[in-house]
Amino acid sequence: MTSRVGLGFDSHGFSSDPLRPLVLGGVAIEGARGLAGHSDGDVVAHAVADAMLGAAALGDIGQHFPDTDPTWSGADSVAILGRVTAMVGDAGWRPVNVDCTVVLEAPMLAPYRVRLVDRLGGVLDAPVSVKAKRPEGIASVGPGEGIACLAVVLLEGGAR
């Protein structure tokens, strides 16, 4: 059995559309500004998908789900993550665990953490950890202009 590690990152600025919901890890965060993006702007699902693709040496999310393709306009990013999980499985890999760090000034993620972990873990069929960190006013995420996420995944298996 072979193991591989993948690192994913994504960031989006806040949307100017006051009706756009904030979706993180497939969970709608109530009363918060949504993120701009071609899909639903879910930085957590995007970072995890990129980590999975990277670990399996299958490229990146932009190659498979480009923002130039209208098919993915407004797409549910957890559905995209499900497709990535299937692609990784078809290549002979399975996720062992995922660890995510969401970088944001607001909103508070603590009330949503269990829902995020359950939603992502259900798609990946693996343990998931989600942590939130404040950037303390540093960089564009720090002044509250957007949200970023880093994700690390461990895959086990081997290429078929």
Q: Mean pLDDT in each 10-residue stretch from start to end of the chain (160 residues)? A: 96 95 97 94 98 97 92 92 98 98 94 97 98 84 85 88
Range of the domain at 46: 2-157
So what's the pLDDT on residue 142?
65
So what's the pLDDT on residue 135?
86
So what's the pLDDT on residue 138?
76
So what's the pLDDT on residue 112?
97
Residue 109 phi, psi dihedral angles, 5° rounding? -95, -15
81 exposed, middle or buried (CB, 10 Å; 0-12, 13-18, 19+)? buried
Q: How many domains does the chain have?
A: 1
Angle separating helix axes 113-124 and 77-90, nearest 10 degrees? 40
So what's the pLDDT on residue 141?
72
Neighbours of 105 (CB within 10 A): 16
Q: Report the predicted TM-score, pTM, of the whole model to 2 decimal places.
A: 0.95
DSSP conformational letter for 27: E
DSSP conformational letter for 105: S
So what's the pLDDT on residue 84?
98
CATH number of the CATH domain containing 98? 3.30.1330.50
Which residues, 6 or more positions from 62, have their beta carbon under 8 angstroms from its beta carbon?
A: none
E strand segments, 41-127: 93-103
